Amino acid sequence: MKLHFYKYQGAGNDFILVDNRNSDINHNDPALISSLCDRRFGIGGDGMMFLQKKEGFDFEMIYYNSDGQPSSMCGNGGRCIVAFAHDLGVIEKNTNFLAVDGPHYATISAEENWVSLQMIDVEEIKMDGEASVLNTGSPHYVLPAANLKEKDVFEEGRAIRYNDTYKKQGININFVEDLGDHYFVRTYERGVEDETFACGTGVTAVALAMAKRKNQTGSLSTPIKVLGGDLNIRFDHDGNHFSNIFLEGPAKFVFEGDIEI
């Protein structure tokens, strides 16, 4: 059969999207998902998403990593599927949808290809040596670094992801360099098992972890640069609890097509 698909990207984090509101596609097929995400033999993508109907919500987001396995929340994927829902006519300027970590609210400025996605609240940040460990919908390890442009993120990130502490459940590894007016972040993502151009839940984790380190409270806005472009995180921090967290950035349609599966 032919599968009609769409390709979107958010700050270089790219995804295959499928309109599955009629439930025509049985996506419980890791080998198929993995082959479609393959950059040499398939469409290519950091992950694959299915937009489905869900009672009480505008839609449901079903997300798989490029290894074909179901994943925890993907922030840039969430922003891209909001843009996709807008382009399909499912939503207009705002939405409430369901993802694996619960309900999400988002707004979209289609003229600017800009999506603001509300993330889950965060209360707990643990320390592992110099690194902060927290869950922003996916588990993240945040480690300050110098000369980040020169760092071997693949090798160093992989070594942490597969150490004795994290290899069973997996964790995403974020290296962050404080450049004064913004943070520069590079991320090794589990499931993709490589460095990606951006990670939405990762930059969210970085913004919160660095605010905690610096004892910053109040309503904060944190600009972050990644390999794929610019993102921003807005949130409230009372010293213990992070709330009203929004991941903001571009979400753009790339192309659509058909592939035989």
Q: Which positions are catalytic?
A: 74, 199
Question: Strands 13-19 and 2-10: what pairing?
Answer: antiparallel
∠ CA(247), CA(161), CA(48), 5° rounding?
A: 50
* Residues counted in the chain: 261
Look up residue 67 and give its amino acid.
D
C-alpha 139/C-alpha 187 separation (Å) is 12
What are the tokens at 255?
């192309």
What are the tokens at 88?
């399909």
* CB-CB contact of 27 with 20 (8 Å): yes
What are the tokens at 106?
């988002």
Question: Which one, of 188, 118, 116, lies nearest residue 159 by Cα?
Answer: 188
Tracing tokens 């969210």 back to the chain, one arrives at 204
C-alpha 260/C-alpha 66 separation (Å) is 18
Q: What is the signed CA dihedral for 157, 160, 162, 164, rounded to 10 degrees?
A: 180
C-alpha 65/C-alpha 174 separation (Å) is 18
Question: Which one, of 74, 81, 82, 55, lies nearest residue 119 by Cα?
Answer: 74
